[in-house]
Structure 1
């Protein structure tokens, strides 16, 4: 069982040594632990510091591509390196390394495909009251959209099984946390969560304040949910127009009938026109939902094709690595035999 701990980092030369130093070197049930640093276009010595610390693998982006791209680069690299479990942690030392055994335990026990580290934001003292409230509301929305029960949806401290890592793919440019969680819920992956400690850190460089973060995450939630539930999304949008249109048409019908039997008076042209327009608009939105649902079916097929291509590619890489190891072993064995024969011949010549 191989665990790769990936650390997306940008300009983290000051905190990276402490992050790497605190990572576990042994975990029961894990045979091999390796560290992967993704340098996302740092302008300082992040990559050099990582090399000096002796991390096993370093991947570099020439320019800054953002946290989501760095996360996906790390996942792809970890899979190619043969990871059975991938843990993602931050380069600012927000997440203590000694919490990783807790994070991977549900995957090792076969109880989960993905495990999210619950920071318990309502108990974190260095979080402002506004941030705690926004975290609570945002996580509730994500739980509803994803069908999961994760209480801290934007936590970047998470572990993924190999199968989950193959199934998920980040397409947003902002952050992977929410999109991955909704993807996992819609693909029926088992998502668990465990409470973890956190360390006080500097303010996040991912966004420009809480409201900027909320705006961008809200856009991600809507876009991702609409991607996986297009029919529901457009039905929800069409429903108010249809209901309002029916109410106006009922008003027009009431006036029309009332004028015929003498218990009502007035004009019904405005209600008739407005009701018809709203009903047609709602029907058009509903039809867009049907088309989007069919497009969503094609997307699901493409995702399955992507999954199989990635799996086949990794199987091919694994096969090549096994062949290379076997050839190296055979080469060493042949060389040892030749050395032994040469020594025996030398002994015989000396005698």
Structure 2
């Protein structure tokens, strides 16, 4: 069993030593523990610090591509390194490395494909009250949408087995946390949540500059990802609402028509017909989008099968 702990980094030379020092050297049930630092275009000495600390693997990206891209690149690199389990932690030392055994336990026991570390919700004193409230409310919303029992939907302290990591394809530019859960829901991965500890804050978040920006980016990401993975549901609901909205003025016109006053209310028929037409076209768009989504999943499956074949060939060559 090979565990790789990946750490996406952008200018983390000050906190990286603390992150790496707390990563356990031995874990029961794990034969090999290796560290992967993903340098997301750092302009400081992050790479030099990683080398001085004896980091096993360093992946350097061209330019600052963002956390989501760095996370996805790390997964792909870790899979190429034959990782059986991949743990993702942040480079700002927010998460307690000592909790890694607790985080990967459900995977080692065969109970989960993905495990998300829960930072304690309202009880976490390391976060301001507004952030704790947003975490609880937002996680509740995402839990209802994805139907996954995850207490902290935006926690970056996560563990994945090889299969789930290989099937993930993060396309968001903002953050991988929400998209990953929607994808896991669609793929029917087993997702577990375990309580973890956090360390005191070392710096402000680089993902957003204000609370309104965070809310806008999170909600837009959730909407975009959900439409991408479940387009038929979204467009059907929207189309049916438009149809119902169109029925209101149509019924109003019919009622006046039977009372002999239909001539003066023709605008209700026109308005209702317009809404009903848009509603029908919206449902049809949903059908087309669902076919496109199905085709994308077929392509993903073909690429996944190709990767499996390449792995088998490489294993045979090594033997």
Give the TM-score, by structure 1 length.
0.88
Mapped contact 1:78–1:86 kept (Cα < 8 A): yes
Residue 159 of structure 1 pairs with residue 145 of structure 2: no
C-alpha distance in 1 between matches for 2:316 and 2:58: 23
1:30-54 deviation per Cα after TM superposition (whole angstroms, max 9, x unaligned):
0010111111100000001000000
C-alpha distance in 2 between matches for 1:265 and 1:273: 12
Quote how far apart the aligned CAs of 1:141 are.
2.1
Mapped contact 1:166–1:311 kept (Cα < 8 A): no
Residue 288 of structure 1 pairs with residue 285 of structure 2: yes
Residue 51 of structure 1 pairs with residue 51 of structure 2: yes
C-alpha distance in 1 between matches for 2:103 and 2:45: 30
Of the two, which has the highest radius of gyration? 1
Query: What is aligned with 1:140?
Result: 140
C-alpha distance in 1 between matches for 2:86 and 2:145: 25
Mapped contact 1:170–1:180 kept (Cα < 8 A): yes
1:297-335 deviation per Cα after TM superposition (whole angstroms, max 9, x unaligned):
111111211221222333334444x34xxxxxxxxxxxx
C-alpha distance in 2 between matches for 1:292 and 1:195: 38
Quote how far apart the aligned CAs of 1:250 are.
0.6
Mapped contact 2:126–2:199 kept (Cα < 8 A): no
Match of 2:267 among 264, 267, 270: 270
Task: Indicate the SS of the match to 2:259.
Answer: helix
Quote how far apart the aligned CAs of 1:184 are.
0.5
Query: What is aligned with 1:253?
Result: 254
Query: What is aligned with 2:216?
Result: 215
Query: What is aligned with 2:129?
Result: 129
Mapped contact 1:255–1:265 kept (Cα < 8 A): yes
In structure 2, list runs of 5 or more residues that go unmatched.
Answer: none
1:11-35 deviation per Cα after TM superposition (whole angstroms, max 9, x unaligned):
0000001111110000000001011
1:210-257 deviation per Cα after TM superposition (whole angstroms, max 9, x unaligned):
221221111111111111111110012112211111111110000000
C-alpha distance in 2 between matches for 1:268 and 1:34: 74
Q: CA RMSD in A?
A: 1.4
Residue 314 of structure 1 pairs with residue 315 of structure 2: no
Moved more, 82-91 or 58-67: 58-67
C-alpha distance in 1 between matches for 2:169 and 2:307: 11
Query: What is aligned with 1:80?
Result: 80
C-alpha distance in 1 between matches for 2:262 and 2:208: 59
Structure 1 stretches of at least 4 aligned residues deviating more than 4 Å after TM superposition: none
Residue correspondence of structure 1 range 1-351 to structure 2 within 5 A:
1-201=1-201, 202-259=203-260, 267-320=264-317, 322-323=318-319
1:83-109 deviation per Cα after TM superposition (whole angstroms, max 9, x unaligned):
000000011100011000000000000
In structure 1, list runs of 5 or more residues that go unmatched.
Answer: 324-351
Quote how far apart the aligned CAs of 1:137 are.
2.1
C-alpha distance in 2 between matches for 1:205 and 1:310: 34
Mapped contact 1:147–1:186 kept (Cα < 8 A): no
CA distance change for structure 1 residues 265 and 82 in 2, over 3 Å: closer, same or farther? closer
C-alpha distance in 1 between matches for 2:140 and 2:252: 39
Mapped contact 2:116–2:157 kept (Cα < 8 A): yes
Quote how far apart the aligned CAs of 1:265 are.
7.8
Query: What is aligned with 1:343?
Result: none
Mapped contact 2:126–2:198 kept (Cα < 8 A): no
C-alpha distance in 1 between matches for 2:289 and 2:262: 44
Give the TM-score, by structure 2 length.
0.96
Task: Indicate the SS of the match to 1:115.
Answer: strand
Moved more, 211-220 or 275-284: 211-220
C-alpha distance in 2 between matches for 1:318 and 1:97: 32
